[in-house]
Amino acid sequence: MIEKVGVIGSGTMGFGIAFQLVSNGTKVILVDSNEQALRFAQLKLSEYLKIFKEEGYLFKDSDEAIMQRITFTTTISEVANCDLVIESATENLQLKKKIFKELDQICHQQAILTSNTSSLKLSDITKNVVHHKERVLLTHFFNPAHIVPLVELLKGHETQQTVYDEVAQFMEDMGKVTIEVHKEVPGLVANRIQTALAREALALLEDGVISEEDLEKVLFAGPGFRYASSGILKIMDFGGLDVWRIVLAQLQPEIESNVRKFDILEEKVVNGQLGVKSSSGFFDYPGKGLDELVIARDRSLIKQLKTFKEMNGGKINA
Ligand SMILES: NC(=O)C1=CN([C@@H]2O[C@H](COP(=O)(O)OP(=O)(O)OC[C@H]3O[C@@H](n4cnc5c(N)ncnc54)[C@H](O)[C@@H]3O)[C@@H](O)[C@H]2O)C=CC1
Ligand SMILES: O=C(O)[C@@H](O)C(=O)[C@H](O)[C@@H](O)CO
């Protein structure tokens, strides 16, 4: 039974994972080597409880009860008696290997150890794990983790199926949607699809086929609008597999398939136009702080999450 969870790293993702856990009834030990990051996560926790309430998304428990469930600490040994530890520290293989080696030594034998890595291989991260090698998983959340339902799950080469099943059930009980990745491929599934989509979008933009503004509309008013309720296979079923067969044959030779650097992206990064974090990317964000923009994004995603739940009969997992 997973009753107490350690989260390593209180940054963008660690905060979201911890928020999802405590707001759904689970005790959390949130660890970060940076005291300031912990303080910021603590501040964000109470701010987001207010935001969810303002958006009409209510949790079972009071804010006080939720806040009492979380411990903020710079000491990793405080997760020793956690049933599950989710590592969500900086995307650096040596750092993650070091953290997992430490967790392997300090955590009790029945603890389950997982990583939220975006791009590293679980087998590399857990190379030095000895005592928990049958109890490791990759649990890949999506930003913002406190709102986006998906968690991609991948077993380690020696992970017990019962461990996988327990984590999958735990995630779904706290309102996430889980999928099982059956082979350890770089980027798992969603990031590969997201990358293929971004490649074609940037190619069309760079080749002058479409403007930035209209490229945005293409997705949120077109396929993206549908993706909120149907995956690609249902969309193909609705469209007719005979038609899709023709379209795939026609368009595959046409769409971008090269490994290419996009000048339009290179120029922006070189010029320091990094997106909302630098107030300018493909679009400008004059006079708005990063937090203000993130909160505005989250308010719209919370509205979307409420509709997503209603469409699935009140449960996230239909
Ligand atoms: N940012 C994103 O959109 C997504 C990121 N991820 C993955 O989640 C993980 C974390 O990413 P972010 O939250 O974006 O990074 P971040 O940079 O916002 O946060 C990382 C946190 O880890 C802390 N940290 C570093 N070393 C530590 C240690 N030894 N012990 C405890 N804490 C330590 C840092 O102080 C920082 O607060 C990465 O593996 C990343 O690939 C996964 C999905 C989406
Ligand atoms: O989109 C997400 O939240 C995840 O797919 C990720 O892993 C991140 O985008 C990462 O790839 C880049 O921040």
- For residue 29, report the distance from its CA to the centre of ligand 2, in Å: 24
In a domain, 292, yes or no: yes
Helices assigned H by DSSP within the chain: 12-23, 35-54, 63-68, 93-106, 122-125, 161-173, 190-206, 212-220, 223-227, 232-239, 241-251, 263-270, 290-311
Residues with a CB atom less than 6 Å from ligand 1: 8-14, 31-34, 37, 88-91, 95, 99, 116-118, 141, 143
Considering every ligand atom shown, identify the ligand nearest to the alpha carbon of residue 188 and give its number. 2
Tens of pLDDT, residue by residue over 16-55, are 999 999 999 999 999 999 999 999 999 999 999 999 999 9
Rounded to 10 deg, the angle between the 232-239 and 241-251 helix axes is 110
Q: What share of the chain is helix, strand, coil (3-state, %, to 5)?
A: 50, 15, 40
Same domain as 201, residue 150: no
Taking residues 229-247, report their average pLDDT: 97
Measure the CA–CA gap between 96 and 85, rounded to whole angstroms.
13
Tens of pLDDT, residue by residue over 77-124, are 999 999 999 999 999 999 999 999 999 999 999 999 999 999 999 999
Measure the CA–CA gap between 127 and 94, rounded to whole angstroms.
11
- For residue 68, report the distance from its CA to the centre of ligand 1, in Å: 24
Q: Kindly report the three-state secondary structure assignment for every residue of 216-244.
A: HHHHHCCHHHHHCCCCHHHHHHHHCHHHH
Mutate to test the pocket of ligand 2, among 15, 88, 116, 118 (most ligand atoms within 8 A of CB): 118
Same domain as 114, residue 68: yes
In a domain, 238, yes or no: yes
pTM of the model: 0.94
What ipTM was predicted for this assembly?
0.97
- For residue 10, report the distance from its CA to the centre of ligand 1, in Å: 7
Number of domains in the chain: 2
CATH number at residue 237: 1.10.1040.10
Residue 195 has pLDDT above 70, yes or no: yes
- For residue 41, report the distance from its CA to the centre of ligand 1, in Å: 12
Which domain range does residue 198 map to?
189-312
- For residue 224, report the distance from its CA to the centre of ligand 1, in Å: 27
- Extract the tokens encoding 15: 């905060």
In a domain, 89, yes or no: yes
Same domain as 250, residue 196: yes
Same domain as 171, residue 29: yes
Same domain as 165, residue 80: yes
Same domain as 158, residue 87: yes
Same domain as 222, residue 285: yes
Measure the CA–CA gap between 221 and 157, rounded to whole angstroms.
41
Same domain as 173, residue 50: yes
Nearest CA to ligand 1 atom 41: 118
CATH number at residue 29: 3.40.50.720
Give me the pLDDT at residue 114, please: 98
Phi, psi of 177 (to 5 degrees): -110, 120
Mutate to test the pocket of ligand 2, among 194, 195, 301 (most ligand atoms within 8 A of CB): 194
Same domain as 165, residue 214: no
Tell me which of 160, 180, 200 is where a domain ends: 180
Residue 314 has pLDDT above 80, yes or no: no
Same domain as 143, residue 23: yes
Q: Which of 54-68, 225-239, 260-274, 304-318 bottoms out in mean pLDDT, i.e. has the lowest?
A: 304-318
Give me the pLDDT at residue 309, please: 86
Nearest CA to ligand 2 atom 8: 118
Nearest CA to ligand 1 atom 19: 11
Give me the pLDDT at residue 317, please: 47
Residue 211 has pLDDT above 80, yes or no: yes
Give me the pLDDT at residue 289, please: 78
Same domain as 198, residue 174: no
Tens of pLDDT, residue by residue over 123-178, are 999 999 999 999 999 999 999 999 999 999 999 999 999 999 999 999 999 999 99
Residue 316 has pLDDT above 80, yes or no: no
Same domain as 304, residue 221: yes
Tell me which of 146, 180, 214 is where a domain ends: 180
- Extract the tokens encoding 172: 């779904």
The number of beta carbons lying within 10 Å of the beta carbon of residue 61 is 15
In a domain, 317, yes or no: no
In a domain, 318, yes or no: no
The band of 313, judged by pLDDT with boundaries at 50, 70 and 90, is low
Phi, psi of 30 (to 5 degrees): -100, 115
Tell me which of 180, 210, 236 is where a domain ends: 180
In a domain, 70, yes or no: yes
Tens of pLDDT, residue by residue over 269-281, are 999 999 988 889 9
